């Protein structure tokens, strides 16, 4: 039976039809629980995504190590034009990951691409207002292997070369001081010293940090002894593609 409007008004807002207030409170708790559950699931999903694609220790503002290395390779040389397969081979990133990162970079105006037959060629978009600063940051943080290898390739007498020390450790995901102050390079062979140091001076200027070169015999990694040998071989090393 409905109460007259005047009577309900006189009794005040608390005097509603019995059970309605309790039902409203129950519904409110249910909605709150559903909201919290949904929020938790979303946050859990985001956390899982972050764990699968951790930010690179060398420059944690980027989404992943792969993204950083792909962009560093393409943006590091404005005259370089690479296919997706070549980018995959040089960075070690799976082809689908390269395709995804290139797509994002092109949408952001950082790179351009063109089709030549069935091949998609990618290069830096030097007309982008972000290009100079971003290319500089990425080259300094992630272009180290490419820049150092490029400097060493023309030099005769080098059998193998590796980056070791702090930069190699950060590259492998180990924590430590950032930014890395200098680049430690192990050179196996008997290169001409003048040519070597001239080439590394050019690389230093491009990377914006000093390069410390250590020269050893070609079989030093296999047959060497001593504390320095033990230190080098027990920590991360990145072999350069010469």
pLDDT in tens, 79-126: 889 999 999 988 888 999 999 999 999 999 999 999 999 999 999 999
| Domain extent for 107 | 65-137
Distance, in Å, from the CA atom of 196 to the CA atom of 152, rounded to the nearest integer, reads 7
- Dump pLDDT digits (tens) for 189-234: 999 999 999 999 999 988 888 999 999 999 999 999 999 999 999 9
Q: Are residues 91 and 154 in the same domain?
A: no
Number of domains in the chain: 2
Q: Are residues 154 and 208 in the same domain?
A: yes
Domain boundary among 74, 106, 137: 137
- The pLDDT assigned to 39 comes to 45
Q: Are residues 148 and 224 in the same domain?
A: yes
Residue 5 resides in a domain: no
Q: Are residues 233 and 160 in the same domain?
A: yes
| pTM score | 0.58
Spatial neighbors of 150 by CB under 8 A, at least 6 apart, are 203
Largest CA distance in the chain: 105
């Amino acid at each position: 039976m409905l109460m007259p409007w005047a009577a309900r008004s006189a009794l005040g807002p608390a005097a509603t039809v019995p059970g309605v207030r309790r039902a409203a409170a129950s519904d409110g708790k249910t909605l709150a629980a559903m909201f919290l559950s949904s929020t938790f699931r979303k946050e859990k999903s985001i956390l899982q995504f972050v764990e699968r694609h951790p930010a690179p220790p060398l420059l944690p503002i980027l989404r992943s190590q792969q993204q950083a290395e792909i962009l560093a390779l393409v943006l590091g040389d404005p005259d370089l034009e690479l296919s997706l397969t070549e980018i995959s081979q040089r960075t070690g990133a799976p082809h689908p990951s390269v395709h995804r990162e290139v797509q994002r970079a092109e949408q952001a105006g950082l790179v351009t691409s063109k089709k030549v037959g069935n091949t998609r060629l990618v290069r830096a978009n030097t007309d982008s207002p972000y290009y100079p600063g971003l290319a500089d940051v990425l080259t300094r943080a992630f272009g180290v292997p490419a820049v150092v290898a490029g400097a060493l390739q023309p030099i005769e007498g080098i059998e193998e070369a590796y980056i070791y020390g702090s930069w190699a450790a950060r590259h492998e995901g180990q924590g430590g001081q950032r930014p890395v102050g200098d680049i430690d390079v192990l050179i196996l062979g008997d290169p001409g010293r003048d040519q070597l140091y001239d080439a590394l001076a050019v690389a230093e200027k491009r990377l914006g940090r000093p390069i410390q070169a250590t020269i050893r015999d070609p079989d030093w990694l296999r047959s060497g002894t001593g504390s320095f040998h033990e230190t080098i071989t027990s920590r991360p090393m990145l072999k350069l593609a010469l």
